[in-house]
A and B are shown apart, each in its own frame.
Chain A
Amino acid sequence: DAKTTQPPSMDCAEGRAANLPCNHSTISGNEYVYWYRQIHSQGPQYIIHGLKNNETNEMASLIITEDRKSSTLILPHATLRDTAVYYCIVRPLGRFGNEKLTFGTGTRLTIIP
């Protein structure tokens, strides 16, 4: 799997857009970028994934650079409930798809009132 690098922590004012960067400069052509988050003491929660096009769902937007070496998760209007650790994971489409997810240490996002 491609290695990912994320800043250890970030702050964002409530109501503003939170932009969380992830560097994955060794990503391969068949690898997707996934984002999960873990709210304190809870299990990780899937947010969004993408290959090379920008993606948006009800939770967030994912912007992947044209060279695919980095991406940004955007929470458009951050609320206090978005305070969590955010994990960027790069995974290929495995033959059986039962491979583990490798969670690094992620970015601890704190939303400030």
Chain B
Amino acid sequence: NAGVTQTPKFQVLKTGQSMTLQCAQDMNHNSMYWYRQDPGMGLRLIYYSASEGTTDKGEVPNGYNVSRLNKREFSLRLESAAPSQTSVYFCASRGLAGGPAKNIQYFGAGTRLSVL
């Protein structure tokens, strides 16, 4: 099992360019998440998808859109990149386990994005 796979690993954009970050999981998980992490700070939730066909905003959704393409894939799109979006982006997924295991998330290796 690869777990959670993110592509690309690195990306440099110019202000105003658009791009899509890809995320796929092979664990048959229902819920998927996109976080961003700025230098020296904790992770902040951008968007999440509780199940295929649904998406909801997290705490920092402005400037981003998401698509839950199918159960495996959850993409994050920057329509017009800004320098403030320079960050490391992490995708995560969570399975169907009940009880306290609901709060166990599995993370990808991240995408390092620089917007010039």
Enumerate chain B residues within 8 angstroms of A34, measured Cβ to Cβ.
Answer: 103-104
Q: Considering only CB atoms, which chain B residue lies closest to A87 in the complex?
A: B42
The answer to whether A46 touches B105 (Cβ under 8 A) is yes
CB of A113 within 8 Å of the partner chain? no
Contacts A105-B40, A105-B41 given; does A43 touch B100 at CB 8 Å: no
CB of B74 within 8 Å of the partner chain? no
The answer to whether B4 touches A43 (Cβ under 8 A) is yes
Enumerate chain A residues within 8 angstroms of B69, measured Cβ to Cβ.
Answer: none
The answer to whether B50 touches A96 (Cβ under 8 A) is yes
Contacts A42-B109, A98-B48 given; does A103 touch B103 at CB 8 Å: no
The answer to whether B103 touches A91 (Cβ under 8 A) is yes
Contacts A43-B90, A43-B92, A43-B110 given; does A97 touch B42 at CB 8 Å: no
Shortest beta-carbon distance from A95 to chain B in Å: 10
Q: How far is the CA of A109 from the CA of B114 in the complex (A)?
A: 27
Query: Which residues A56-113 have CB closer than 8 A to chain B?
Result: 87, 89, 91, 93-94, 96-106
> Which residue numbers of A lie inside 8 Å of B, CB to CB?
32, 34, 41-46, 49, 51, 87, 89, 91, 93-94, 96-106
